[in-house]
């Protein structure tokens, strides 16, 4: 009964993988790489079924296991996560080099089968074990670490934690982290978790695969459409550049410069002004002026209790406002109160969401 369930899961995974590989959707590349991941894990379950039933030892067996290369996993996972987070990323022939180790693994296994009539298992030799089992495991963990850090960085610079994009990529990372931990426990620590690995693989990977096949938009960033319309900035990494922008405001406090312009900020970052404006609008949901003034108002609020002997106008000028009237208008716009209404009780001020995302008070 158990062998039958494993076989059905393997066949189901194979069919889903084929569907993902050939399905035509606008955001197709991530689905192709997810299809490769499901295919490898489906072959792994098929191999387990063949070992349990004796099918793998029959002389007329089709040597499907030569395609069961774990080295596909880190390469496909890396490209899947990259394409998912960068909708404008285009396929390049250079990307095929990521899969060269897996192709070499398949070639060696095929030669061994044709010449000796046997399959090479990871236990054939310590070197082969390290290259075909431990190495892909370590590379997979490295890929997960790098992309987990990127997600944390996005959250740190203010990306909405409840956005579909953030939830999707977090879900994918959690699934593969769990599989990697089980893989590590079995391959390195020698725990007997093969049955657990099979079960979780069948459940989690197939859930993701079904979601990708029937609802591919689940794996598409809500910014993907906007990104495809902005191909002129395809060479810039939004996360990196947004972190530089935030550091310029929070650490160097460039907002304190009177009459700070978009061109000045873009010049400091050595980025196109249009791209800086796009970053602010895309990730802060406001225009450049509100972005700058958000930091200024937050600075005024922070300084009022620290400088009780200084006039409000003086604090506003130090924060970068060019005139008292401008300060009052901006303050009212972002906080909903006039500065005079705010002064008696600094604890009751409510700052708009855009201001909260623009600066840490």
Q: What's residue 142's pLDDT? A: 95
Q: What's residue 81's pLDDT? A: 84
Burial class from Cβ neighbours inside 10 Å (0-12, 13-18, 19+) for residue 60 reads exposed
CB 360 within 8 A of CB 250: yes
Spatial separation of the C-alpha atoms in residues 294 and 246, rounded to whole Å: 12
Query: pLDDT digit string (tens) for 134-144?
Result: 999 999 999 99
Distances, alpha carbon 327 to alpha carbons 38, 331, 359, in Å: 57, 6, 17
Cα Rg of the chain, angstroms = 27
| CATH architecture for segment(s) 236-358 | Orthogonal Bundle (1.10)
pLDDT tens for each residue of the chain, 361 residues long: 677 877 887 888 888 888 778 765 555 677 788 888 888 888 888 888 888 888 877 877 778 888 889 999 999 999 888 876 665 566 778 888 999 999 998 988 888 878 876 666 655 678 888 888 899 999 999 999 988 887 776 666 554 444 555 666 777 788 889 889 988 998 888 888 777 777 777 777 667 666 766 766 655 544 444 444 455 676 777 778 888 898 899 889 999 998 899 999 999 999 999 989 988 887 777 889 999 999 999 898 888 888 888 888 888 899 999 888 888 888 888 888 877 776 644 443 444 444 444 443 3
User: Left if phi > 0, otherwise alpha if psi is -120 to 50, otherwise beta: which for 148?
Assistant: alpha
Spatial separation of the C-alpha atoms in residues 334 and 129, rounded to whole Å: 61
Domain ranges, ordered by start, for the chain: 2-221, 236-358
Query: pLDDT digit string (tens) for 264-285?
Result: 999 999 999 998 998 888 777 7
pTM score: 0.63
Residue with tokens 């935030």: 246
Closest to 83 in 3D by CA, of 227, 298, 190: 227
Q: What's residue 361's pLDDT? A: 35
| CATH architecture for segment(s) 2-221 | Up-down Bundle (1.20)
Instruction: Say how many C-beta atoms besides its own lie within 10 A of residue 109's C-beta.
Output: 21
């Amino acid at each position: 009964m158990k062998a039958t369930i494993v076989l059905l899961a393997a066949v189901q995974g194979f069919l889903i993988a084929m569907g993902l590989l050939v399905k035509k959707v606008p955001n197709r590349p991530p689905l192709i790489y997810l299809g490769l991941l499901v295919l490898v894990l489906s072959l792994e379950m098929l191999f387990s079924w063949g070992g349990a039933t004796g099918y793998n030892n029959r002389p007329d067996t089709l040597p499907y296991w030569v395609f069961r290369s774990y080295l596909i996993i880190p390469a496909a996972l890396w490209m899947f996560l990259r394409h998912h987070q960068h909708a404008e990323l285009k396929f390049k022939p250079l990307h095929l080099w990521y899969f060269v180790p897996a192709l070499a693994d398949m070639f060696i296994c095929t030669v061994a089968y044709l010449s000796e009539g046997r399959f090479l298992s990871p236990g054939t030799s310590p070197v082969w074990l390290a290259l075909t089992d431990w190495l892909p495991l370590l590379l997979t963990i490295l890929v997960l670490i790098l992309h987990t850090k990127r997600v944390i960085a996005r959250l740190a610079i203010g990306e909405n934690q409840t956005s579909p994009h953030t939830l999707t990529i977090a879900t994918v990372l959690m699934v593969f982290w769990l599989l990697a931990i089980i893989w590590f426990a079995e391959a390195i620590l020698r725990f007997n978790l093969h049955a657990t690995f099979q079960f979780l693989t069948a459940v989690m990977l197939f859930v993701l695969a079904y979601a990708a096949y029937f609802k591919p938009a689940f794996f598409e960033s809500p910014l993907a459409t906007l990104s495809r319309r902005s191909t002129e900035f395809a060479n810039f990494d939004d996360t990196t550049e947004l972190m530089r922008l935030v550091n310029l405001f929070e650490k160097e406090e460039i907002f304190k410069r009177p009459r700070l312009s978009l061109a000045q900020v873009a010049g400091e970052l050595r980025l196109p002004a249009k791209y800086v404006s796009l970053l602010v609008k895309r990730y802060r949901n406001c225009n450049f002026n509100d972005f700058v003034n958000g930091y200024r108002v937050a600075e005024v609020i922070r300084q009022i209790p620290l400088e009780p002997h200084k006039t409000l106008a003086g604090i506003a000028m130090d924060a970068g406002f060019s005139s008292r009237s401008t300060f009052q208008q901006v303050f009212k716009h972002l906080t909903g109160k006039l500065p005079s209404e705010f002064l008696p009780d600094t604890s009751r001020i409510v700052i708009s969401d855009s201001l909260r995302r623009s600066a840490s008070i």
